[in-house]
Amino acid sequence: MTDIAPKTHQKNLVLPTFLNMPLNIANLVLEKMETMDRLRARKVCRSLRTAVDKIGLRFDYIYLYLRKDEVEIWSGTEIIYNTAENDSSSSNVIHNEQTKLIDGENFVEKAAKDFKILSKHARKIAIRNFTENRCDIVTTFIKIFKAEKCIHVQQIELSYFSFDEVLTILSWFDAKVLKSIELDGIKSIDQFERIIHLEHWKNAEEFSINSRRVECTNAIVHFFHFKCFYIYKLDEFSAHTAIQIRDDLLRRSTFQSCTIYFVSSKINPMEIAKVFKSDYGNEFNIEYSNGNDKFGIFLEDLQYLNKNHFKLNVKRL
């Protein structure tokens, strides 16, 4: 007689799923997942979202590239968003060489919503604008992020935006958490003093700006609360500015270093040198002491690159 019990048992056997595994086993599986896989698991159901949130999602960095025909999110792995073929109202999401069609959602909107989720779990965010004349892409992101006020990142890097766009984007981030701000290739700067009133500016420890021209010579003292700052490039630099650096900036215990590129047809480098060393010789490589701390001060003449261009570097020793 054939024993059918094992077959019956097999037929009635229900294989365990991930969701009804013991909690400690499920957590071990989640902990072993890559961050992007954990993010996808978070979207499955409320239980997994709670479990993933307890473990945490954390990216060291997230780069967002805005281009005229696509958006790319990079966080160690690449996600590309573009328009679906033959349907401008739908989008393709390409990840790990697999393409997923998203019906009825524009690729910019889809990318913005995904970035909105990811940005809340990053230490550093860099957003680079290569959209050329497609202003609608930046406008869509700004619209979707309009209500955001508390993205908790420590570092933000913004490249190739207008100054107005920079001010809007900075408002998305928690000023109490943000410690480093880097602005690169800013297209135009109108009324630079608008940024110095932001809490983000007041609370940050490091600041860097790279622009064709920064008209903030009279407001350079507003940079002095930063531990480190970089300016490219000031429209003018005077002996009075050097005195402000000597008598104010170098007396601040928090200051570590600064680099300032400037254009000046009026200043004689010797005038700047004598602010820090009255018996200045020929080499502008000065070790300056204010009685409490020592600083290395170096002025480089960049005439070989551009006429009347200089680079001043000051560093705590």
Name the residue range of residue 149's domain: 59-204
Same domain, 270 and 233: yes
Same domain, 127 and 238: no
Same domain, 96 and 130: yes
Q: For residue range 126-135, list pLDDT tens digits in order.
A: 999 999 888 8
Same domain, 281 and 310: yes
Same domain, 236 and 266: yes
Domain end (from 150, 170, 204): 204
Same domain, 253 and 313: yes
Q: Tell whether the model's pLDDT for residue 317 goes beyond 70.
A: yes
Mean pLDDT, the chain, rounded, equals: 85
Q: Tell whether the model's pLDDT for residue 94 goes beyond 60.
A: yes
Q: Tell whether the model's pLDDT for residue 76 goes beyond 90.
A: no
Instruction: Assess if residue 1 is contained within a domain.
Output: no
Instruction: Assess if residue 310 is contained within a domain.
Output: yes
Least reliable range by pLDDT among 141-145, 176-180, 278-282? 278-282
Instruction: Assess if residue 36 is contained within a domain.
Output: yes
Please indicate whether residue 130 or residue 233 has the higher confidence score (pLDDT): 130
Instruction: Tell me the CATH number at 47.
Output: 1.20.1280
Residue 159, both tokens:
């490249």
Please indicate whether residue 80 or residue 276 has the higher confidence score (pLDDT): 80
User: Does residue 316 contact residue 288 with C-beta atoms inside 8 Å?
Assistant: no
Q: How many domains does the chain have?
A: 3
pTM, rounded to two decimals:
0.83
Q: For residue 10, what are the contacts with CB-CB under 8 A and spacing of at least 6?
A: none
Instruction: Assess if residue 266 is contained within a domain.
Output: yes
Q: For residue range 15-69, list pLDDT tens digits in order.
A: 567 666 677 777 777 777 776 677 777 777 777 777 777 766 678 899 999 999 9
